[in-house]
Amino acid sequence: MDTFLAKYENQINVFSELLDELPDTEEPLWILGQRYDVRAEKSELLSDVRSRLWFTYRKKFSPIGGTGPSSDAGWGCMLRCGQMILAQALVCWHLGREWRWDKDGRHPEEYRRILHCFLDKKDSCYSIHQMAQMGVGEGKLVGEWYGPNTIAQVLKKLALFDDWNSLAVYVSMDNTVVIEDISEVPSLCRETHGSSRPRATSSYPHPYLRSEWKPLLLIIPLRMGINHINPVYIEALKECFKMPQSLGVLGGKPNLAYYFIGFIGEELIYLDPHTTQLAVESEAGGAVDDQSYHCNRSPHRMKVTSLDPSVALGFFCKTEEDFDSWCGLVQQEILRKSRLRMFELVEKHPPHWPPFVPPTKPEVHTTGAGRCCTDLQTVLRLLGCSIRNHPRGVRKTMV
C-alpha cells in the first residue's frame, strides 16, 4: 500500500510541476518575511526557495526501532514538514535568514552540522527514527499519520536532548501565547545577578523575561474552521508570512502535509515532501551529498481556501528584541485588525488554566553522533511507555 501511495503521489508531483510556474504579476510575493517582485527578482526569489532545507520521503534507511519500516513513504509527510520548519529555525540561528545555499558545495561548518541533525539514521537527533519513536509517547504508532499539533509536541520533546543547539521550544495551547509561560521554558531565559533588563521596545513589557535570552522556536497550533478554513482568518494568516520572524506554516489537506513558506495573492507557496528519494549515506561527522536536500523546482502553489483548517504557525526569535518585535507586530497586524482573532497573546497565565509545567529531560545517557541525540527506547521507558514489535509498526503499552 505504501508503495502504491508513493507512486501515486510522485505522479501528482510530475503533473503539478507543469502548473507551478511563477505567475507574471505585479503583486508582491512573500517568502518567510522577505518581499519579492516576481518580475524583477525572480532569480533571487528562486535562490531563496532553493536554499530552504527540503526533507522528503526516503527509502532504504535502517529500519526504525531495528525491525520497523525502512521507508516513510505514505505516512511521514508531516514528520518531514516538521523537520523543515525546525531546520529553518536552525539556519536562521546559525547562518542567518540571508544565507543562501551554494550548489557547488562551499558551505560553512554550521550548515554541515545542521544537516547531520536530520539524516535518516537513528543517531541523528531529528531523524525520522527519533521523531517516529518519540511520537509513540504522543499516542502515535510508527507508521501512523501525524497532525500539526502532534509534530509540534514531538519537536518540543526532542529539542530537550539537542545539546548543540539548546533551542527553546514553546508550543501554545488553546490558541493562546502566554508570555509568562515562555519565561519558564528550559534554556530560554537565565537569570543574571537576579535582575531584569528594562523593557521599552514593545507594547508588552515582559517583566517575566530575564536578561539572558536563548533562541526561541515558537509554534502555535490552530484550528481555523471546522471543515474548511474560515475566510475571516485569511488576511491574518498572510500577515504571519510577512513577519521577519516567520518560519512558515505546517498544514495541508487531509492526510497530505505541506510546509507553507509564503504566499502571492490568494495562493499559498509550499514545499512538498511527497517525493520518495533514496536515503543518503554518510559517516558520522563526514561530508554529505546535499543535492537532494534542496528543491530546484519552481515552488508549488495552492489556493488558500483549499487549506485544511488544522495548522501550526512557526516563528523564530533569536534575541529578546526579536520577540519584542514579534509581539508588537502581532498586536498591530493581527489582534487590532481582526474581527475574529486567529490567536491571542496574553501576558499572564490564565488563572482558570492548570499550572504551566515546563518540559524536562529525563536523566539518560546520550549516544555519540552529533552530541545531540539520545536513546529513545530509554526515554520512552522513563516516560512510562515501551516499544514492542507490532504488525502495524509499534504499539504503546504501560509498564
Question: Any catalytic annotation for residue 274?
Answer: yes
List the catalytic residue out of 274, 300, 327, 373.
274
CB 144 within 8 A of CB 394: no
CA dihedral in degrees (330, 186, 65, 275; nearest 10)? 20
Side chain identity at residue 231, one-letter code: P
List the catalytic residue out of 48, 123, 272, 308.
272
CA atoms within 13 A on the CB side of 94: 19
Cell reading at 208: 517575566
List the catalytic residue out of 48, 72, 77, 120.
77
CB 161 within 8 A of CB 382: no
Residue-wise DSSP of 177-203: EEHHHHTTSTTTEE-BTTB-----SSS
Question: Any catalytic annotation for residue 385?
Answer: no
Question: Which parts of the chain are beta strand (E)?
Answer: 28-31, 34-37, 58-59, 168-171, 176-178, 189-190, 212-213, 216-223, 246-253, 256-264, 267-271, 277-278, 300-303, 310-317, 344-346, 385-390, 393-398
- What is d(CA 250, CA 80) in angstroms, rounded to the nearest whole number? 10
CB 251 within 8 A of CB 279: no
Question: Any catalytic annotation for residue 272?
Answer: yes
- What is d(CA 19, CA 360) in angstroms, rounded to the nearest whole number? 46
- What is d(CA 271, CA 55) in angstroms, rounded to the nearest whole number? 9
Give the catalytic positions in this structure: 77, 272, 274
